[in-house]
Chain A
Amino acid sequence: MAELFDQHLHNVTVHFERAEEYPAGQGPLKTYILEAHDLNGSSPSHAGMSAVLGDLEKRLNFQVEPTNDPTLVTLAKGDARYFVDFLNPRFWVVHTTANIDPAEEYLKELVRRSWNLDYAWLPSQVLGHLRRGRRFLGFNVEFDQELFISAGASEEIQEQAAVFKTRYRGNLGEELFTSLSSAAFRRDLCLSAVKYSISDSDSGAYIKNELNASGRIMATGNSISLHLGAVNHLVNLYAQMIQTLEQELSLGFARGEGGDELHGYPLTLRFSQPVIDFAGFVKEVLSCRDQTRLWGVVSHEERDFVRAEVVDLHSASRLRLDFTPTHVVVYLFRGSCGNSVARLLRIIQEHLDPTVYFELEQPSVFDQCKEA
């Protein structure tokens, strides 16, 4: 696989911005992180992978081919062929050189129609962290508060909803981003992609990566090793993030030395400003629609407070959410998936407040990703 992609990198020179224009198989190498569960919802094992892959073959007509490496298979559908590395069976690394449109379309079908698969959901702060120490070549910001505005909301409310989307490529990425981050703009600035390069001056090897918030890395350059190194760093960081959320937050009572001890705690996501349209916010979060994919029924409601019993349709996880105009409290039930919390945070960042972040009780991997 590495030789194949190395050859591809050497033969193909591309601009990410025009990825859809290249002939079939001539676009940038794309690598995706997917989060996976076994068919019974538990954390997957290598032994359980054949059942998961068999299910994809049967339900979605993906052709699954083994390789010489027992933790690597190919999945194919239409024009798109993917190499799926499940060295960590919970967090798959999926590579493809297929053109971006079919590659994304089939992958979207795979994730959307498989409750046990989900994308990675990188907070804005983590994207910012991953650019540091690398040559910063640009960024995308996408912030749109209109999603959480009710259809019949007043003109006054609608006018308050901020939308800020832009893309910068060039040598001034660091200066521009720093300048935007330090302004009043900060609370409308949600990083959705970062572009950076990594190089080895001794050998002349380099890779340019564009990493987006759903864990896709597009690559161009001349070194597959540098690309795989960046991917490895990302997947390990993301695995650590999700496992930290599950270890810290997963709620349940366990028999202790004396009695039943509560493990985990509810996580509070605090907003820097009150929500513009509280009803619209709650309704959209529990709408079952993409990308939130949360199903919920309200169990308690009063002025400025809604409690809902919630199911994540991506992982069948059980949660409880307390909504207020200033914060959301997330109760992650025992055995539920940390990716549900990561997705909720990402969606809140993109549509409500990019400054919201994980504030855990113990020092954690998230602290290192905060702005220095």
Chain B
Amino acid sequence: MAGIDHPILLPPASLVKPDVITLSRKSNCALLWECKSGGNLDLDQLGRYRELLDCVTAKDIQRITGIQFPDPETAHVQVTYCFLQEAIPRILGFFGSEHRIPVVSLGQTTQSVAGDFYDVELNQAFRAGFVTPPVQQVPWLFVADAQTTDGELALYLLPTVVTLIVKQTERTSIIDLLGQTFLDWQCISLETRGVLKDKATRVLKDVCEAEFKEHVRYCKPGERHHDATIEVVSELMGQEASAQTRGFQKLEEQVRSAAKRLNEGRPYSPPSPTAEQGLFRFPPSD
């Protein structure tokens, strides 16, 4: 894994943004993966990838994305398309006799159905195909990109905010919070990180003034702190055991409610006193 969502400029002004870049040091080759359901094939994009293969070298890729080839002079770059199996008959014709771009079919078996990988061993493995693991058994490591909704972002970020409440961490920057939340943060391109940072700032500012008001305060960038930060003001950890448990259970409900509200684009409205009482359980659940 060498990068996620890195934009690559093709002079003078066109752009491709492979979903993932993988690098094999053994074969000194990078693969730029474009992953599609197959519902639509962007022919312009395919044209740009063909252009990339003609005019962009491994050294260019190294300079643009920061990935490091063992030997940039002799390194290879390949574009690979990956489609769901059912889309293959519909799209395969568009690739024609383009052997430089392997096409991978993703069904019960994962298999290359056109083109050749530069790496001979890899080519043999993909030509032979292998059983695709059930989606539920595929590790879920990359969870956010530029399309992540505000609600989804809240579901990932707010649990990290809960760790700060538990630790009574005084202040944390939103950048640090993102780094603690997304395992792949440093692999994500600067552009996508920028988008996520803006979204996270908007989401956290909103939730800190709404559902999480009792627990966390949003602090805009100032002289002392260059980046926006959040500050823990929660008294939850000082409460006795059963009240604390109820407080955390309520926080879970608030995270769900905030995520739903943000996805629907609704402003916060405080729960009515009766609804608030409804959150309490009797007898205490601890």
Counting CB contacts under 8 A, is A165 at the interface? no
A258–B1 touching, CB < 8 Å: no
Interface residues contributed by chain B, number (CB under 8 Å) = 47
Segment of A28-36, A169-177, A218-226, A284-292 in the binding face: A284-292
B286–A290 touching, CB < 8 Å: yes
Which chain A positions have C-beta within 8 A of B184? 253, 260
Partner of B252, one of A295, A316, A318, A333: A295
Q: Secondary structure of the B side of the interface?
A: helix
Residues 244-265 of B, flagged 1 when their CB comes within 8 A of A and 0 if not, give 0100110110011001000000
B139–A288 touching, CB < 8 Å: no
Which chain A positions have C-beta within 8 A of B163? 41, 311, 316-318
**Which residues in chain B, 1-55, are within 8 Å of chain A measured between CB atoms?**
1-3, 21-23, 25
B245–A316 touching, CB < 8 Å: no
Which chain B positions have C-beta within 8 A of A310? 159
Report Cα–Cα, A295/B158, bound state, in Å: 12
Segment of A19-27, A124-132, A139-147, A261-269 in the binding face: A261-269
A297–B155 touching, CB < 8 Å: yes
B3–A251 touching, CB < 8 Å: no
Report Cα–Cα, A307/B155, bound state, in Å: 11
Are A305 and B136 CB-contacts (below 8 A) given A258-B23, A290-B286, A296-B159? yes
Counting CB contacts under 8 A, is A324 at the interface? yes
A297–B285 touching, CB < 8 Å: no
In the complex, what residue of chain B is closest to A251 when comparing beta carbons?
Answer: B183
Are A331 and B286 CB-contacts (below 8 A) given A115-B167, A295-B248, A297-B155? no
B2–A40 touching, CB < 8 Å: no
In the complex, what residue of chain A is closest to B157 when comparing beta carbons?
Answer: A309
B67–A258 touching, CB < 8 Å: yes
Partner of A259, one of B1, B166, B181: B1
B2–A265 touching, CB < 8 Å: no
Which chain A positions have C-beta within 8 A of B22? 259
Which chain B positions have C-beta within 8 A of A317? 163
Residues 130-150 of B, flagged 1 when their CB comes within 8 A of A and 0 if not, give 000000110111000000000
B162–A259 touching, CB < 8 Å: no
A289–B237 touching, CB < 8 Å: no
Which chain A positions have C-beta within 8 A of B141? 251, 262, 331
In the complex, what residue of chain B is closest to A40 when comparing beta carbons?
Answer: B167
B136–A322 touching, CB < 8 Å: yes
Counting CB contacts under 8 A, is B124 at the interface? no
Counting CB contacts under 8 A, is A3 at the interface? no
Partner of B70, one of A251, A257, A262, A295: A257
In the complex, what residue of chain A is closest to B162 when comparing beta carbons?
Answer: A311
**Which residues in chain A, 185-242, are within 8 Å of chain B measured between CB atoms?**
none
**Which residues in chain B, 186-233, are within 8 Å of chain A measured between CB atoms?**
186-187
A266–B139 touching, CB < 8 Å: yes
Counting CB contacts under 8 A, is B180 at the interface? yes
Which chain A positions have C-beta within 8 A of B152? 299
Report Cα–Cα, A101/B162, bound state, in Å: 33
In the complex, what residue of chain B is closest to A260 when comparing beta carbons?
Answer: B187
A318–B159 touching, CB < 8 Å: yes
Counting CB contacts under 8 A, is A77 at the interface? no
How far does the Cβ of B244 sit from chain A's closest Cβ, in whole Å?
8
What 7 additional pairs, Cβ within 8 angstroms, besides A253-B187, A298-B256, A311-B159? A253-B183, A259-B21, A265-B139, A297-B256, A317-B163, A322-B136, A329-B139
Task: Name 27 interchain pairs, CB-CB below 8 A, sorted by A.
Answer: A41-B163, A251-B183, A253-B187, A257-B70, A258-B70, A259-B1, A259-B2, A260-B1, A260-B184, A261-B1, A266-B139, A289-B245, A289-B285, A290-B286, A295-B162, A296-B252, A297-B155, A297-B252, A297-B255, A297-B256, A298-B256, A299-B156, A309-B159, A313-B166, A322-B140, A331-B183, A335-B180
Residues of B within 8 A of A (CB): 1-3, 21-23, 25, 67-70, 136-137, 139-141, 152, 155-156, 158-160, 162-164, 166-167, 169, 180-181, 183-187, 237, 241, 245, 248-249, 251-252, 255-256, 259, 285-286
Residues of A within 8 A of B (CB): 39-41, 112-113, 115, 251-253, 255, 257-262, 265-266, 268, 286-290, 295-299, 305, 307, 309-311, 313, 316-318, 320, 322, 324, 329, 331, 333-335
